Structure 1
Amino acid sequence: MANLAAPKFSLNVGGASSSEANSENFEALTARNYEAAGEVMNPIDYVELFEDEAKQITEELTNGLTQLSMLSIVGMPGIGKTTLANSIYQSPLVPLHFHVHARCCVTQLYQKRRLLLEILQQVNARTEPRHGLTDDELAEELYRSLKGKKYVIFFDDLWDTRLWNDMSTSFPDDNMGSRIMFTSRFHNIVSQIERKSITYPLNPLSEVTSWKLLEVKLFQKECCPQELLGVGMQMAINCKGLPLAVDLVVCLLRNKERRQDCWEQIANSLNTHLLADQQGRCWGILELSYNHLPNHLKPCFLYFRAFSEDEEVPVSELMWLWIAEGFVQPQNDEKGSLEDVAKKYLSDLIARSLIMKTKRGSLGGVKASRIHDLLRDFVLAKAKEECFMEEINGYEHLISPSCVHTMSKPYRLFVHSRWMDGAAITKPSAVRVRSLVVSRFAASCLKSNSFALQNFKLLRVLQLSDIKTDCWTSIFCLFHLRFLSLETYSYMIPPEISNLQSLETFLLRLKRYGEIELPETIWDLVKLRHFKIWGSSTLPKYNLEKFFKFDNLQTLATPAFCCGEDTEKILRGLPSLRKLSCILLDSWDNSLKCNRFPNLDFLTRLESLKLEYSGEVQQRCEFNFPSNLKKLTLSRFFLPWSEISTIGRLPNLEVLKLLCGAFEGKLWDMTEGEFLELKFLMLQNLNIAQWNASEGDHLPCLETLVLANCNQLEEIPSCLGDVLTLEKIELQHCRRSVEISARTIKEKQEEMGNEQFVITLK
């Protein structure tokens, strides 16, 4: 069969919506787009979307591999999965490369018989009806129709693995190079199918591409008038990369005169129009996605109602909130902590394309997430409909007095305005509130008689911004609190904090320079699992016998410890620590006998450690790390490079960040056999000049190397070119010679077949 170049994905200006188009419209669109095989699309007439993905998928379809394989295109509703897949399926390459081909839409309401009939009609058309045949007879006929042929079957909108489980025996693998392609909003379907498969995730369009799409759809072969460019581009940006949203704006603009004032009128009300239109066009898709969620994931998804538009949410805090609300409940056969179960919930929501990953960790895990605006609008409406969470804002009281007074189920309240007159909350109503979020714009409402914190007796979650000292007394009456997040100007936490005996997560942000004084009674919070402070603080003295009950703490971040025996005693009272971030100070007695690095090998559950040293450099330093440590960050220890072997011998270390003078000296001679599991290495603000690695096996599992502000470093060891796992080198403010050595490594990687290796310069 002919081996033609991959077609460019193109969207006809006047064609079907970029959302899931129906087959009739798309066939007409395709007929216009591909009048002849190999025709090149005119860039003035068409906007090319997802060109790279289209090329990759087309190459995978036609690459000559004989084994039956599966290709999946995944992404959130409305991103253009079906449009992309249809464009590829309808290209002239498909009939040229495959004997038979078929496509059908699966939908959530899975119907095996309907799918069998649809596919058979396309691969083996016949005049006699098949409706009298049983499902097994239809499946057998499909197998015979495909046997010995090279085929491609396209399933649109796959919801789960039932289709493959039921119909896989109907798709023979005769080593003919057959392919099965499907679209889905769920990333994890492929991993559940025991068959060679490749996944292509679709991300939102860039702002530039969104504007090009809008311009071409609206003006076709013409250009946008100069006076409309600014407002037009802004509307395209507001579409947030969804082709479906671009379609909406185009529809609105088509009915308006092409005048600046008319366009600005639409731009000003765009969010309202988007919401209204989604009710009619997108709501069905989103409703299906929501209804398909397991019951335990629905409140986790709706909880994004508590966050502002486009807000990046740290996933650790998000999961702690879910736990505090009681959403996370392990099944009988599930092992691990509540945090481990919450991670599974998060992964499931991401796999369903309902939330987006916005920040990745060193090893590619999720650090922050957010919800797309269109999905957020759905969450707003659904949360209100189900009385899950209500809002008071400055322009419209989404929570009315009548609603509050008649509320019979526990609910959550998000206060975004200082104006409380229209929505005073009575004491009986406040008792039903389980979660209260008061933004910085509404902090003054805490002084209102209609909004007394002490009335929220059963509150589990409290998040307050800009609180004053006179609020502490009210907070300490909330005995059921599990999650407390405070932004404060106060330097002192009152000892009554010990009243909150149910508290599991305590997040404290100091909003001005200085040190927070923690009371000794902080050690009475024996249920505390996560304690993070943004700002300087020192842990108080304590009663050691009492302190040993403090064994639930998993996260302790940014307090200061003084070097010495007391530090070790404190840490021995925290046997469950999984993540520790702190500053080490000079010992109280400044004794030269004092090791400025505490003994930590007894913290057998510790996985992540971040340490910064603040003090004189004359003291000795001996490392004693727990063997299970996976992530280590060191700053300002100014250690000689000879000390690094202790770190290199850690058997499970995967991430190492050496920052701001962690080590000092011009020469680092690596030793073979160290850092055997290291995947991520960052060297930042170090005075290293030579980094040597003799012949041998060095950093055999390294995936990412980051060099930042190491402006004396001459080059990267050439042996990294032999590391089979290496994926990326990132350089920030390094010498030209370092860049040259990185490119030499890249050439070596490409010679070994690693075409995915990248160098990024910042």
Structure 2
Amino acid sequence: MDQDTLVGRKIVRSFKGLPLEITVIGGRLVDTDMRKESWEPIAENVSSFGNASESEHCSKILLLSYNNLPLYLKPCFLYMRVFCEDAEIDVYKLVRLWVDEGFIKASETESLEEVAKGYLEDLVDRNLIIAHEKDILRERILTCGIHNLLRDLCLTESYKGHFMCSPRVQVVVKGGSVCFLCGSCVKGKETINIPIPASLFPPGSQGNLLSCGVCAVIYSHIKRLRMVMVLYSFLQHTKLRSVNVEVYRLPKFVSPPNVHWLWNLQTLSFWHSSDSSVVYLPSEIWDMPQLRVIEAKRVVFPNPPTSHVEEKHIFVLKSLHTLTTVLNFELTDAILGGIPNMRQLGIKYNEFMKGSNASLGNLVGLQKLESLYVKEGSEWDPTEGEFLRLKVLIIVDCDLVQWRADQSHYPKLEYLELKNLSSLEEIPCNIGDIPTLHTIHLKECCKSVMDSAYKLWEEQESLGNDSLKVLVQEGVVDFSICEFMALPHQRRWQ
């Protein structure tokens, strides 16, 4: 029997048959170069726990895996303790939180979100995070979770080192007794004892420093924060990197001009309980150069302040890469020149906004655009070179009739979604020739769209392109276009 096998068996004998230990150490071994010299230190460490009780043995095994994590992965792993036991964690939300908390190292070749997804995959490979739901077509993890014993480890190690120096994310919920950090309901009179300047309490307003039990424990070591009053009558501290504001059913929410006091802010999100609510951003938003993400169901984005030619560079949001969904977005040179690194954009126009400033052709200046969500127009005739990096295109709820496009217009398109298009004559057949396109997803579209999609799929199949998936959503079920066309006629168009 070779030496590598002997070392491996020595490790396995130390596990006492506990599956979590086997899984976690297995993830640690996979990360090595699989040589005996790399496995021997792990075997020695594991064997040294032989006299421990079963629970203590398990804790030490898990701690060993944590201690062997690269430094850049440790904060991401420890952060998992903020989620409840057995939580189904949305990966998009998790990645955003890691970025907002400042855990992700900048890269010259990838966005912070892409780097964060790589961190997640690394932790999954090490069996410290469990991948639950996956999108097979787009090869990505949708939801994940963490074993309760590993979460306990996160809690223990976090408290030891005061892991969270200060809160970076705040949820602003108006009304009731809610935590001033996470927005959850507060029972009793839990507070965080932080000195607050009296000047922050103007007549008629109330400062809210109630905290839930979880936040009170996590941030119990905090002695002082620099606070400002920006949203509602709530306090925000100036180190915040992410604020999520609940808009309720207000038909109109005007973000206050002093929002730029939150000079470290990177993510500004608004939660709507009504689809008709509109958020109005102040022109001072252009004084927030660190902003990376602005999200709302409907948001009115202002023009930059009027400036002299030599001052135009001042009003450029170089970090802003996600802006959704902008109502009646004026695609002027002043605005588009101020958001040069936009990668994800959502646009919605109503019948009152037409003309040159609403033409999607103006987006040619956004050369880094990768994802476009649009509700606009009856005709779209893109020109070559407009969307050279676009990977995701979603067209929803518009009266689009004619759409002329081919491979030269979206050379890197990967995913196309069409929803509730009742007037579109056909999907451009040459769309199928885009080599990177792997999915066309149709939802609530008219018969002419379905027929052209089936024709496109048949043509690609005859050319040997079996990697293109054309899906049709019927209720909550996705059918392939072939399966859908085989359904009874009454069911297809009911």
The reply to whether TM is greater than 0.5 is yes
Within the alignment, does 1:487 sit opposite 2:246 as a pair?
Answer: yes
Which residues of structure 1 form unaligned runs of 5+? 1-19, 27-76, 83-106, 109-154, 169-276, 392-412, 429-437, 711-728, 741-762
Task: Look up the SS of the partner of 2:433 in the other structure.
Answer: coil
1:425 — aligned with what?
Answer: 193
The verdict on how the C-alpha distance between 1:345 and 1:419 changes in structure 2, with shifts beyond 3 A counting, is: same
The verdict on how the C-alpha distance between 1:520 and 1:548 changes in structure 2, with shifts beyond 3 A counting, is: closer
Q: Shift in Å at residue 736 of structure 1?
A: 6.3
1:576 — aligned with what?
Answer: 341
Within the alignment, does 1:456 sit opposite 2:230 as a pair?
Answer: no
1:548 and 1:574 in contact (8 A); partners too: no
Within the alignment, does 1:305 sit opposite 2:81 as a pair?
Answer: yes
Task: Look up the SS of the partner of 1:645 in the other structure.
Answer: coil
Task: Look up the SS of the partner of 2:410 in the other structure.
Answer: coil
The residue identity in structure 2 corresponding to 1:643 is W
1:304 and 1:371 in contact (8 A); partners too: yes
Distance, in Å, in 2 between the alignment partners of 1:296 and 1:523 is 32
1:485-527 per-residue CA deviation (whole Å, 9 max, x = no partner) reads 2324462211110212221122222344522222221222122
2:260 and 2:284 in contact (8 A); partners too: yes
1:353 — aligned with what?
Answer: 127
Q: Shift in Å at residue 455 of structure 1?
A: 5.3
1:185 — aligned with what?
Answer: none
Task: Look up the SS of the partner of 1:301 in the other structure.
Answer: helix
1:622-661 paired onto structure 2 within 5 Å: 622-624=381-383, 625-640=386-401, 643-646=403-406, 649-661=409-421
1:33-73 per-residue CA deviation (whole Å, 9 max, x = no partner) reads xxxxxxxxxxxxxxxxxxxxxxxxxxxxxxxxxxxxxxxxx
> Which of 520, 525, 537 lines up with 2:288 in the alignment?
525
Task: Look up the SS of the partner of 2:328 in the other structure.
Answer: strand
Higher gyration radius (CA)? 1
Task: Look up the SS of the partner of 1:377 in the other structure.
Answer: helix
1:160 — aligned with what?
Answer: 31
2:391 and 2:415 in contact (8 A); partners too: yes
1:310 and 1:372 in contact (8 A); partners too: yes
Q: Shift in Å at residue 384 of structure 1?
A: 2.5
The verdict on how the C-alpha distance between 1:560 and 1:646 changes in structure 2, with shifts beyond 3 A counting, is: farther
The verdict on how the C-alpha distance between 1:313 and 1:487 changes in structure 2, with shifts beyond 3 A counting, is: farther
> Which of 292, 316, 341 lines up with 2:68 in the alignment?
292
The verdict on how the C-alpha distance between 1:595 and 1:621 changes in structure 2, with shifts beyond 3 A counting, is: farther
Distance, in Å, in 2 between the alignment partners of 1:439 and 1:702 is 55
Q: Shift in Å at residue 656 of structure 1?
A: 0.9
Distance, in Å, in 1 between the alignment partners of 2:184 and 2:94 is 19
2:15 and 2:21 in contact (8 A); partners too: no
Within the alignment, does 1:731 sit opposite 2:479 as a pair?
Answer: yes
2:469 — aligned with what?
Answer: 704
Distance, in Å, in 1 between the alignment partners of 2:447 and 2:459 is 20
The residue identity in structure 2 corresponding to 1:78 is P
Q: Shift in Å at residue 424 of structure 1?
A: 4.6
Within the alignment, does 1:387 sit opposite 2:162 as a pair?
Answer: yes
1:377 — aligned with what?
Answer: 152
The verdict on how the C-alpha distance between 1:647 and 1:658 changes in structure 2, with shifts beyond 3 A counting, is: farther
1:609 — aligned with what?
Answer: 372
The residue identity in structure 2 corresponding to 1:163 is M
The residue identity in structure 2 corresponding to 1:635 is V
1:598-643 per-residue CA deviation (whole Å, 9 max, x = no partner) reads 4222211111111123xxx6x5433254111111111123334x62
1:382-429 per-residue CA deviation (whole Å, 9 max, x = no partner) reads 3223332599xxxxxxxxxxxxxxxxxxxxx8786624646652439x
2:202 — aligned with what?
Answer: none
1:649 and 1:674 in contact (8 A); partners too: no
Within the alignment, does 1:676 sit opposite 2:439 as a pair?
Answer: no
The verdict on how the C-alpha distance between 1:484 and 1:335 changes in structure 2, with shifts beyond 3 A counting, is: same
2:419 and 2:444 in contact (8 A); partners too: yes
Distance, in Å, in 2 between the alignment partners of 1:519 and 1:441 is 30
Distance, in Å, in 1 between the alignment partners of 2:161 and 2:424 is 59
Q: Percent identity?
A: 26
Q: Shift in Å at residue 310 of structure 1?
A: 3.7
Distance, in Å, in 2 between the alignment partners of 1:386 and 1:540 is 43
1:716-743 per-residue CA deviation (whole Å, 9 max, x = no partner) reads xxxxxxxxxxxxx941899764369xxx
Distance, in Å, in 1 between the alignment partners of 2:440 and 2:32 is 39
The verdict on how the C-alpha distance between 1:604 and 1:623 changes in structure 2, with shifts beyond 3 A counting, is: same
The verdict on how the C-alpha distance between 1:156 and 1:358 changes in structure 2, with shifts beyond 3 A counting, is: closer
Within the alignment, does 1:343 sit opposite 2:117 as a pair?
Answer: yes
2:328 and 2:358 in contact (8 A); partners too: no
1:508 — aligned with what?
Answer: 270
Within the alignment, does 1:585 sit opposite 2:353 as a pair?
Answer: no
1:516-559 per-residue CA deviation (whole Å, 9 max, x = no partner) reads 222221222122111112x3222123326557422211111222
1:505 and 1:528 in contact (8 A); partners too: yes
The verdict on how the C-alpha distance between 1:415 and 1:292 changes in structure 2, with shifts beyond 3 A counting, is: farther
1:560 — aligned with what?
Answer: 327
TM-score by length of 2: 0.69
Distance, in Å, in 2 between the alignment partners of 1:297 and 1:24 is 25
Distance, in Å, in 1 between the alignment partners of 2:484 and 2:94 is 42
Task: Look up the SS of the partner of 1:469 in the other structure.
Answer: coil
Distance, in Å, in 1 between the alignment partners of 2:210 and 2:33 is 48
Q: Shift in Å at residue 24 of structure 1?
A: 12
Distance, in Å, in 1 between the alignment partners of 2:338 and 2:165 is 41
Distance, in Å, in 2 between the alignment partners of 1:167 and 1:389 is 33
Distance, in Å, in 1 between the alignment partners of 2:464 and 2:320 is 33
Q: Shift in Å at residue 687 of structure 1?
A: 1.0
Distance, in Å, in 2 between the alignment partners of 1:732 and 1:701 is 13
> Which of 375, 380, 383 lines up with 1:621 in the alignment?
380
Task: Look up the SS of the partner of 1:427 in the other structure.
Answer: coil
1:134 — aligned with what?
Answer: none
The residue identity in structure 2 corresponding to 1:348 is D
Distance, in Å, in 2 between the alignment partners of 1:458 and 1:336 is 34
Distance, in Å, in 2 between the alignment partners of 1:737 and 1:343 is 37
Distance, in Å, in 1 between the alignment partners of 2:153 and 2:74 is 13
The verdict on how the C-alpha distance between 1:688 and 1:675 changes in structure 2, with shifts beyond 3 A counting, is: farther
> Which of 256, 260, 282 lines up with 2:58 in the alignment?
282
Distance, in Å, in 2 between the alignment partners of 1:316 and 1:21 is 36
The verdict on how the C-alpha distance between 1:558 and 1:668 changes in structure 2, with shifts beyond 3 A counting, is: closer
2:316 — aligned with what?
Answer: 549
Q: Shift in Å at residue 356 of structure 1?
A: 2.6
2:299 — aligned with what?
Answer: 537
TM-score by length of 1: 0.47
The residue identity in structure 2 corresponding to 1:572 is G
Distance, in Å, in 1 between the alignment partners of 2:406 and 2:138 is 22
Q: Shift in Å at residue 287 of structure 1?
A: 1.5
1:260-309 per-residue CA deviation (whole Å, 9 max, x = no partner) reads xxxxxxxxxxxxxxxxx984463233222211211221111111122233
Q: Shift in Å at residue 162 of structure 1?
A: 3.3
Aligned residue pairs, count = 417
Q: Shift in Å at residue 653 of structure 1?
A: 0.8
The verdict on how the C-alpha distance between 1:497 and 1:424 changes in structure 2, with shifts beyond 3 A counting, is: closer
Which residues of structure 2 form unaligned runs of 5+? 1-10, 40-52, 167-180, 197-207, 489-494
